[in-house]
Amino acid sequence: MYQILIVEDDPGIAGAIREQMEVYEMQAHCVKNFRNVLGEFAAFQPHLILLDIRLPFFHGYHWCSEIRRVSKVPIIFISSASDSMNIVTAMNMGADDFIAKPFDQNVLMAKVQALLRRTYDFGAGAPILEHRGAMLNTDEGTLSYQGEKIALSKNEFRILLTLMRSKGKVVSREKLMDALWETDSFVDEAALTVNVGRLRKRLEAAGLTDFIATRHGVGYLIGD
């Protein structure tokens, strides 16, 4: 089931779009916190975003730019500000399409379905794992925090990926070593300790202190 994120502050329009998506058996989520659109994006992990330009606190161009820092997910702008300047700006910011308000729901659905087919018939999307504002792009192997990318080695990425996939649960040292062996990085207990230590230093340097907790004698944990 495709997941659609609706970033629209008019509840009537947002609700109507959500209902239309559900008719086509898509799961739709309407953003509630317009101060934290990026957080809701990361939590929902949509396959496509419908984004208005005029929003509370920050305009749609801002959120388009923020999302493009961490993901290539398709974005369609929907706005009454449909003059040529806004359309060009939206496309230059990374949008995939622009639909002017008021619009026909059938036209909207046709464009959404066409873009989904073009995007996902030729490869999977890039799911984002998020914790405390840190965004791990599992497709590109990159970590972003506060708009900046944090360089990770192959082993560091694999460790962080394994921990974030099990967020809230303790991951044993044995499971982490198994995850590294899958990438042909044959590590022992000492090497794992070194890799985790380096990863912690990178995270702390970026402002992510105490991101990885140790459970002595058991393993490591990423949690709230």
- pLDDT, residue 199, reads 93
What value does the mean pLDDT take over residues 95-112?
88
What value does the mean pLDDT take over residues 107-114?
88
The 10s digit of each residue's pLDDT in 152-175 is 888 899 899 999 988 889 999 888
- pLDDT, residue 4, reads 93
Q: DSSP per residue over 100-118, as a string?
A: ESS--HHHHHHHHHHHHHH
Percent of the chain with pLDDT over 90: 35
Rounded to an integer, what distance in angstroms lies between the CA atom of residue 126 and that of residue 123?
A: 9
- pLDDT, residue 32, reads 93
Strand ranges in the chain using DSSP code E only, listed in sequence order: 3-7, 27-30, 48-51, 75-79, 97-100, 128-131, 134-137, 142-145, 148-150, 170-172, 213-215, 219-221
The tokens of 205 are what? 């340097």
- pLDDT, residue 137, reads 85
∠201-202-207 over CA atoms, to 5°?
90
> What mean pLDDT value characterizes the chain?
86
Which residue carries 């086509």 as its tokens? Answer: 24
Above 60 in pLDDT, residue 125?
no
What value does the mean pLDDT take over residues 103-108?
87
Tell me if residue 200 falls in helix, strand or coil: helix
* Residue whose C-alpha is closest to residue 95's, from 117, 110, 115, 77: 77
Strand order in the sheet with 219-221: 170-172, 219-221, 213-215
Burial of 116 from C-beta contacts in 10 A (0-12 / 13-18 / 19+): middle
The 10s digit of each residue's pLDDT in 169-211 is 999 988 888 877 765 555 678 888 888 999 999 999 999 999 9
Per DSSP bridges, beta strands 170-172 and 219-221 are antiparallel
What value does the mean pLDDT take over residues 73-95?
85
- pLDDT, residue 104, reads 86
- pLDDT, residue 103, reads 85
Above 50 in pLDDT, residue 143?
yes
What value does the mean pLDDT take over residues 100-109?
87
Neighbours of 151 (CB within 10 A): 10
The 10s digit of each residue's pLDDT in 210-221 is 999 999 888 999
94 close to 68: Cβ distance less than 8 angstroms:
yes
Prediction pTM value: 0.63
- The letter for the amino acid at 51 is L
Q: Where are the alpha helices (DSSP H) in 49-183?
A: 60-70, 84-92, 105-120, 154-165, 173-181
